[in-house]
């Protein structure tokens, strides 16, 4: 069947696929990156736990150095109840538990853990409350993803933004675990979709030649800005409640989005809302100052009307995500991609949050190491097409596992106060490796998953990763028993993730699968040890030998 060539990409090129409209939508994406990073890591900032010790009236007016010296003589410095203090010597109480604490606040910042005394035996309450945030993120991804397909990308984007802001605002009123957990659940509903829906809008309206650079540049720079400024913003606010009050207000900026950008024209076409799609494209052309004849839009609509009629006539059976589990090779690859997503997502969240007890201010450490998002973005742009997707994934995961394991060893053997600088460097390196792994994973998965189920496949794999991230608070809680335990656990799963990469095929310079059948046969000839960067070197050697 000879279908007209006037498809969406052709019309968008006439209307302008990299002009003023694209600058506006990239601006919205930049703002969303700042909002998304501040929103996602709000639970990290509001739950920082400072140094603390059981209250005793004789230590009420003592300096923190004196208090630390007294409690250093006990087996559990932070949670030991004292009967008395005699000449700087602690007399440990035989019965009873701490009910009041002395906190060494970071520049006066009061977190939820200090306000509600979620320390020592009650430290698990913060982990439980925060885990509900990620349960909300899984629920929100499914719900708002469904809403985006039903009512449109733009309305769903606004709803998810305001839901997250509402959750943060309500959290500031929480005074116990049930209300805190409930409001963190509401806040978590918008975590993934706030970024994901805006990403789709940019992807669809941007020139294919500019997508990689534009998306990675905006994400790296503006996500970093949000992360780097958030800790200082929190310290300036003075308390977790004030921080959440004020942090929820910028979400109102999203009200302006419908006046700046328009609905996804591709979504309108797939739902056969042709008039609205044409209206959006005409708006793009107007903002980009392009003159496009009405005949172009008429041919555009006719193309998709004929395409729909043709598919109905043939009764084409569409592939489904669950079809990826029906055949052996594709099933194996899909399970590995799901497991990798779970491991990398959990590792990124734990490393980004586990900033306490490293010898330096957790606020400063979090802010300073956030620069890895910029460096990581440029690393992917420079290296991904040289060493291949598989090589990038395997090397960064393996390197991260070694760095995180080394960090755990240093935590166990060094005095953190005296070696704060080296620990900060190790935390930054570990965070860098996992950030690169996380960002590179998205492109690797999108190329490997067959075109027919790419959208649903990416969403489901992403949801699995976020679901596993709900365990991050419990992994960090392991540090209460033995400080290096979180690092040891994360190093193990990163190493497992690297090993799993060897069972996946390389996608670079390969004809990507279009259907599930193509996916089953994809790269069947490849060996587990195949890496294109080494292959090119071998080819060069062969040429030199033959000459």
The ranges assigned to domains in the chain are 1-50+105-316, 52-104, 326-535
CB-based contact 390:531 (threshold 8 Å):
yes
Q: Please name the fold of domain 1-50+105-316.
A: Growth Hormone; Chain: A; (1.20.1250)
Give 53-78 pLDDT, tens digit per residue.
999 888 888 898 899 899 989 888 88
> b vs e for 468-498, b when ≥16 Cβ sit within 10 Å of the residue's Cβ?
bbbbbbebbbbbbeebbbbbbbbbebbbebb
At 106 the three-state DSSP class reads: strand
Give 387-430 pLDDT, tens digit per residue.
888 888 888 899 999 999 999 899 888 887 788 889 889 999 99
CA angle 51, 57, 60 (to 5 degrees): 50
Give 118-172 pLDDT, tens digit per residue.
998 888 888 888 788 888 888 887 788 778 878 888 898 889 889 999 999 999 9
Structure tokens at 453: 């189920």
Count helices and strands in the chain by DSSP H and E runs: 25, 4
CA angle 285, 289, 290 (to 5 degrees): 55
Segment 238-263 shows an average pLDDT of: 89
Segment 496-509 shows an average pLDDT of: 87
Question: Please, what is the average pLDDT of the chain?
Answer: 84
pLDDT at residue 251 greater than cutoff 60: yes
Q: Quick one: 209 exposed, middle or buried, by C-beta within 10 A (0-12, 13-18, 19+)?
A: exposed
CB-based contact 369:424 (threshold 8 Å):
yes
Q: Looking at domain 326-535, does it have CATH number 1.10.3720.10? A: no
Do domains 1-50+105-316 and 326-535 share one topology? The answer is yes
Give 256-285 pLDDT, tens digit per residue.
888 888 888 888 887 889 999 999 999 999
- pLDDT at residue 542 in the model: 36
Strand pairing report for 89-92 and 82-86: antiparallel
- pLDDT at residue 452 in the model: 64
Q: How confident is the model at residue 314 (pLDDT cuts 50, 70, 90)?
A: low
**Which string of DSSP letters, residue by residue, matches 10-45?**
HHHHHH-SSSHHHHHHHHHHHHHHHHHHHHHTHHHH
At 291 the three-state DSSP class reads: coil
Distance set, CA 284 to CA 158, 278, 294, 475 (Å): 20, 10, 14, 48
Q: How confident is the model at residue 539 (pLDDT cuts 50, 70, 90)?
A: very low
Q: How confident is the model at residue 498 (pLDDT cuts 50, 70, 90)?
A: very high
Lowest average pLDDT, out of 297-301, 326-330, 453-457, 512-516, goes to 453-457
Strand ranges in 306-418 using DSSP code E only, listed in sequence order: none
In the chain, what percentage of residues exceed pLDDT 70?
94
Per DSSP, 81 falls in state: -
Q: How far apart are CA 31 and CA 39, in angstroms?
A: 12
- pLDDT at residue 535 in the model: 65
């Amino acid at each position: 069947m000879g279908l007209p060539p006037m498809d969406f990409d052709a019309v968008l090129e006439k209307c302008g696929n990299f002009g003023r409209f694209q600058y506006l939508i990239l601006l919205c994406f930049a703002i969303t990156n700042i909002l998304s990073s501040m929103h996602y890591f709000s639970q990290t900032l509001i739950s920082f736990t400072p140094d603390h010790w059981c209250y005793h009236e004789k230590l009420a007016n003592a300096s923190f150095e004196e208090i630390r010296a007294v409690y250093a003589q006990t087996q559990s410095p932070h949670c030991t109840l004292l009967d008395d203090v005699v000449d700087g010597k602690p007399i440990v109480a035989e019965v009873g538990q701490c009910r009041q604490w002395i906190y060494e606040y970071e520049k006066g910042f009061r977190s939820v853990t200090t306000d509600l005394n979620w320390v020592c035996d009650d430290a698990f309450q913060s982990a439980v409350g925060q885990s509900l945030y990620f349960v909300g993120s899984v629920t929100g991804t499914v719900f708002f993803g469904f809403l985006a397909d039903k009512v449109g990308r733009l309305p769903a984007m606004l709803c998810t933004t305001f839901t997250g802001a509402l959750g943060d605002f309500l959290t500031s009123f929480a005074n116990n675990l049930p209300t805190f957990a409930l409001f963190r659940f509401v806040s978590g509903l918008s975590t993934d979709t706030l970024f994901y829906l805006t990403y789709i809008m940019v992807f669809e309206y941007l020139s294919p030649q500019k997508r990689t650079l534009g998306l990675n540049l905006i994400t790296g720079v503006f996500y970093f800005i949000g992360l780097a400024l958030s800790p200082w913003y929190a310290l300036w606010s003075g308390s977790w409640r004030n921080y959440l009050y004020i942090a929820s207000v910028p979400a109102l900026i999203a009200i302006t989005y419908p006046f700046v950008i328009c609905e996804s024209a591709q979504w309108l076409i797939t739902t056969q809302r042709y008039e609205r799609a044409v209206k959006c494209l005409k708006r793009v052309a107007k903002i980009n100052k392009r003159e496009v004849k009405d005949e172009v839009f008429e041919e555009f609509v006719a193309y998709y009307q004929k395409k729909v009629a043709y598919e109905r006539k043939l009764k084409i059976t569409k592939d489904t995500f669950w079809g990826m589990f029906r055949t052996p090779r594709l099933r194996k690859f899909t399970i590995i991609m799901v497991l990798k997503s779970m491991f990398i997502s959990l590792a990124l969240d734990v490393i980004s949050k586990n900033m306490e007890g490293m010898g330096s201010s957790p606020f400063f450490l979090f802010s300073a190491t956030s620069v890895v998002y910029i460096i990581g973005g440029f690393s992917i742009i420079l290296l991904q097409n040289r060493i291949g997707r598989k090589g990038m994934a395997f090397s960064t995961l393996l390197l991260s596992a070694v760095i995180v394991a080394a960090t755990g060893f240093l935590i166990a053997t060094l005095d953190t106060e005296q070696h704060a600088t080296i620990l900060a460097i190790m935390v930054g390196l570990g965070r860098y490796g996992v950030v690169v792994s996380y960002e590179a994973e998205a492109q690797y998965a999108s190329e490997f998953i067959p075109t027919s189920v790419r959208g649903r496949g990416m969403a489901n794999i992403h949801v699995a990763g976020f679901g596993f991230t709900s365990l991050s608070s419990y992994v960090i809680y392991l540090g209460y028993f033995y400080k290096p335990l979180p690092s040891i656990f994360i190093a193990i799963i990163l190493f497992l993730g690297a090993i799993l990469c060897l069972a996946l095929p390389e996608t670079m310079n390969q004809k990507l699968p279009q259907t599930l059948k193509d996916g089953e046969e994809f790269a069947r000839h490849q060996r587990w040890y195949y890496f294109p960067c080494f292959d090119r070197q071998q080819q060069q050697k062969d040429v030199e030998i033959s000459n």
